[in-house]
Amino acid sequence: MSAQDALPEHGLPADQVLQQLRSYGAADPHYQSGRLWSLVYYLDAEHDGFLQQAYASYASANGLNPGAFKSLKRFESEIVAAAARLQHGGPETCGVVTSGGTESCLLAVKTYRDLARATRGVRKPEMIVPTTAHVAWFKASEYFGVKLRLLPLDARLHADVSKLESMINRRTVMILGSAPEYPHGSIDPIEAMGAIAQRHQVPLHVDACVGGFILPFMEMNGIALPRWDYRVPGVTSISADLHKYGFAAKGASTITYRNLHLLKHQMFVATDWPGGVFASPALLGTRPGGAYAAAWAALQHFGVDGYRDLAARTSEAFDRMRSGIEATPGLRVLGEPTGPLLAYGSADADLNIFAVGDQMDAKGWLVNRLQFPDGLHAMITAQHLPVVDDYLRDLREAVATVRADPTLAQKGRAATYGMMAHLPLRGVVRSKVLSMFADSYRAGGAPLDLEAAGHDEGHAPPLLERLAARYVAWKQRRA
């Protein structure tokens, strides 16, 4: 794209611009048909139109100053109250609306770092998170200088709580549990974590960005779940995304705290700025009013009954998906998922699960890949209920195709992901991925493609071939 194309010398008519917008999306995932299993939480065109109207009603409003747009502060207060109700919070529960799960996670780390600094004088903070914690927590560690200590998994791919207590020290500023964790869909042992956290007087945050607006309704529907919210003594804060199973417009999340004493350490106040006294409750300055309005509108539109219905349909899709995978020879469900997330891998050494993923992609299903262990991932919603049987049929065919042609493991994305997941030189992998990712952000740059230019059919990309060569050389030196 040239600079002239990016910013034309003369403005274009609105109809022409809108037509271009629609045309640019032609190659994007067709999530409306239920064939995308991540990124988007979509019900139907009617609900999408409803959210667009709600968003547009406040598209120019700014939540930066809660005293100016009192409507937005009302939306935020009622959204936080709804989240607190679902999380079994008490009268002191408080919080804010954020731009998404990552901001909510970042804020928790910032809050507990500052709390420990103010109350215990901690200067070299650490936090304990399971290895399955969302990558946002690793980002928060890097951004805020809080050292990560990784809690390993047990044989069931659960956070091994038996090792937690020995990891706590005077520099520990927080412990994390997830409900559920993203890779395998298991709820971490929050009750056991809470007891340990209380004993050592360390805050425990629950990352319910995925589960916060579906787990409560699954429980209302009679599904037995381990306790993960403020009913657990020791839980001090919870993050929960509205733009996931709350079916609000992006981006809208919440972070709540057990009391105001904790929340105050999240806030920023500047008293000596020439522009005036400034206070901000979260990371963003400008806070988009449209997202607040659409989130509030979604809660009012569905209500408890509507969300229970969505949860029931999601649970049915999840159960059918899990049963179908377990009934497919050569496949196994990873971990012990409670829903709505599910991951599965190969039960046979000669079945390459990434090659199965390639076959599913070729059939029009967009599925994510996992590593450690290798697997495929599905974020299941109510929209997937009508297509689960089609997915499972195609999955059985994909498994049969890969069994019949083992060379598929050395082709396409199977080769890419297989090599990336198993190369031990993780620093080299990080360096190369960073370079490729950064290049895609040049002005007018092309979209990122991890399968890099020069990838010929049937061969791994040159980048990965070089990484593999380095690995071979390294093994030879070790020998």
Per-residue pLDDT tens digits for 304-326? 999 999 999 999 999 999 999 99
Please state, rounded to an integer, the average pLDDT across all residues of the chain.
89
Query: What is the reported pLDDT for 36?
Result: 82
Q: What is the mean pLDDT of residues 186-190?
A: 97
pTM greater than the 0.85 cutoff: yes
Report the distance separating Cα 205 and Cα 104, nearest Å: 11
**171 touches 161 (CB < 8 A):** no
Contacts of 260 (CB under 8 A, 6+ apart): 92, 94
What is the model's pLDDT at position 460? 46
| pLDDT given at position 39 | 85
Most confident range, picked from 25-29, 280-284, 332-336: 332-336
Q: Stretch 333-345: mean pLDDT, rounded?
A: 96
CA distance 38 to 55: 23
Give residue-wise pLDDT tens across range 426-440: 676 677 677 766 666
**DSSP result, 213-227:** TTHHHHHHTT-----
Return the CATH class of domain 56-300: alpha beta
Own/partner pairs, 303-311, CB within 8 angstroms, 24+ separation: 304/217, 304/220, 307/213, 307/214, 307/217, 307/246, 308/217, 308/220, 308/221, 309/382, 310/43, 310/214, 310/217, 310/245, 310/247, 310/381, 310/382, 311/214, 311/217, 311/218, 311/220, 311/221, 311/245
Q: What are phi and psi of 220, to 5 degrees?
A: -60, -30
In the Cβ-directed half-sphere of 264, how many Cα atoms lie within 13 Å? 8
Strands 368-370 and 375-379: antiparallel
pLDDT in tens, 111-168: 999 999 999 999 999 999 999 999 999 999 999 999 999 999 999 999 999 999 999 9
Q: Residue 153 in 3-state DSSP?
A: strand
Give the pLDDT of residue 66.
76
Q: What confidence tier does 8 reach under pLDDT thresholds 50, 70, 90?
A: confident
Are 56-300 and 304-382+395-406 the same fold in CATH?
no
Residue 126 Cα distances to 110, 111, 199, 240, angstroms: 12, 13, 18, 23
Residue 452 has pLDDT above 50, yes or no: no
Considering only CA atoms, give the Rg of the chain.
Answer: 24
Residue 89 · residue 256 · CB < 8 Å: yes
**Residue 90 DSSP class:** -
Share of the chain above pLDDT 90, in %: 71
Q: Give the residue among 332, 326, 328 at the shortest CA–CA distance from 346.
A: 332
Helix (H, G, I), strand (E, B) or coil at 308: helix
Q: What is the DSSP letter of 276?
A: -
Closest to 459 in 3D by CA, of 420, 416, 429, 401 = 416
What is the dotted CATH code of the domain comprising 304-382+395-406? Answer: 3.90.1150.10
Max CA separation in the chain (angstroms): 71
Extents of the domains making up the chain:
56-300, 304-382+395-406
When pLDDT is averaged across residues 195-213 and rounded to a whole number, the result is 98
Is the model more confident about 196 or about 65?
196
**Residues 265-309 pLDDT 10s:** 999 999 999 998 888 889 888 888 999 999 999 999 999 999 999
What sign results for the dihedral spanned by CA atoms 182, 212, 333, 343? Answer: negative
Could you give the percent of the chain with pLDDT greater than 70? 86
| pLDDT score for 31 | 84
Tokens representing 357 are 């993923």
Q: Is the pLDDT of residue 33 over 80?
A: yes
